[in-house]
Amino acid sequence: MTARIIDGRIVAGTVRAAVAARVAALGFQPGLAVVLVGEDPASAVYVRNKDRAAAAAGIAAQTVRLPADVGEAALLAEVARLNADPSVDGILVQLPLPSGIDPQRVVAAIDPGKDVDGFHPLNVGALAAGQPGLVPCTPLGVMRLLEAVGVRIAGARAVVLGRSAIVGRPMAALLLAADATVTVAHSRTRDLPAECRRAEILVAAVGRPELVRGDWIAPGAVVIDVGINRGADKRLVGDVAFAEAAAVAGAITPVPGGVGPMTIACLLENTVTAAVRRRR
Ligand code: NAD
């Protein structure tokens, strides 16, 4: 079998077009504020891409740039200012933050209704409890990819590899909310290949280059690779050995060009969702 390749760029384009159409019908312009502390080059590129994508969707994006030595109190004051600004519907503080600033305290200071990253404890709790809230962008992007493939999630055996707060855990909660039978596997799981082989839907989010081999995958499974790693030759590779897996899976996301483009698209979706809810 040769897997169908799930093109995240195309699906992300569809999500972004849907966001732009929702924005056009709103009658007001939603606002997104991204707070960037320091000069981390990867973060700077990511923030620039967010700005561009937001503008293309009709969202008013602003980037608040603060020096690396800003200090926690000044950063919290900036968050409070954005919380109070009625033109700002979404606030995202770019992580990682410089040492000396507690990211949990900063995230907890964001108005949960504007928390478009979905990392605020209230939103984390809402997702865990199966209640409406704002959901982290990368797992939300994975759900949009699964919807685009047309895979039946209800009743399916789904295995999530990785239990981080930003990907694995919310991913498992979203799949559970969609009525999948969910297993979360991680670094302490006894027999990882055996767990993966049971999956009809496999989501890998471990950050280990090509950990998941072809013989870990059930024939016909849908494989979503969240990992972004530098391989030995500096090439970008996922958590899944792509060529091996594609020979067995029914559908698979490539790296790059799979989950990656979905994250920003879902950030825009969350911004519009937050804007609509705040005005209700
Ligand atoms: P993390 O390091 O916070 O968590 C990794 C998880 O994988 C942990 O729960 C750990 O238990 C598990 N793990 C680690 N090694 C393992 C092993 N050998 N066997 C089984 N489980 C193991 O990472 P993260 O933030 O969840 O990110 C995971 C990957 O996804 C990274 O490659 C990251 O770059 C990528 N990522 C991509 C996007 C995107 O937009 N596509 C967004 C976020 C993260």
For the stretch 188-202, pLDDT in tens is 999 999 999 999 999
Q: What is the pTM of this model?
A: 0.97
Averaged pLDDT for residues 135-164: 98
Domain with 58, as residue range(s), is 27-114
CB 62 less than 6 A from any atom of ligand 1: no
Judge residue 46's burial from the number of C-beta atoms within 10 Å of its C-beta, 0-12 exposed, 13-18 middle, 19 or more buried. middle
Pocket test for ligand 1, best of 47, 164, 268 (most atoms within 8 A of CB): 164
pLDDT, tens digit (0-9, with 9 covering 90-100), for 69-113: 999 999 999 999 999 999 999 999 999 999 999 999 999 999 999
Q: Residue 1 pLDDT > 70, yes or no?
A: no
Among 114, 146, 169, which residue terminates a domain? 114
The rounded Å distance from CA 1 to ligand 1 centre is: 28
Q: Answer yes or no: is 129 within a domain.
A: no
Q: Answer yes or no: is 208 within a domain.
A: yes
Among 114, 146, 173, which residue terminates a domain? 114
CB 167 less than 6 A from any atom of ligand 1: yes
Among protein residues, the one whose CA lies closest to atom 30 of ligand 1 = 227
Among protein residues, the one whose CA lies closest to atom 8 of ligand 1 = 162
Q: Answer yes or no: is 8 within a domain.
A: no
- Integer Cα distance of 26 and 56 in angstroms: 16
Q: Answer yes or no: is 5 within a domain.
A: no
Q: Answer yes or no: is 200 within a domain.
A: yes
Query: Do 58 and 110 belong to one domain?
Result: yes
Query: Do 90 and 178 belong to one domain?
Result: no
Query: Do 201 and 154 belong to one domain?
Result: yes
Counting the structural domains of the chain, the total is: 2
Catalytic site positions: 50, 94, 117
Give the CATH number for residue 37.
Answer: 3.40.50.10860
Give the pLDDT band (50/70/90) at residue 42.
Answer: confident
Query: Do 94 and 178 belong to one domain?
Result: no
Among protein residues, the one whose CA lies closest to atom 3 of ligand 1 = 164
Give the CATH number for residue 141.
Answer: 3.40.50.720
Q: Answer yes or no: is 251 within a domain.
A: yes
CB 257 less than 6 A from any atom of ligand 1: no
Give the pLDDT band (50/70/90) at residue 41.
Answer: confident
Query: Do 110 and 159 belong to one domain?
Result: no
Query: Do 105 and 144 belong to one domain?
Result: no
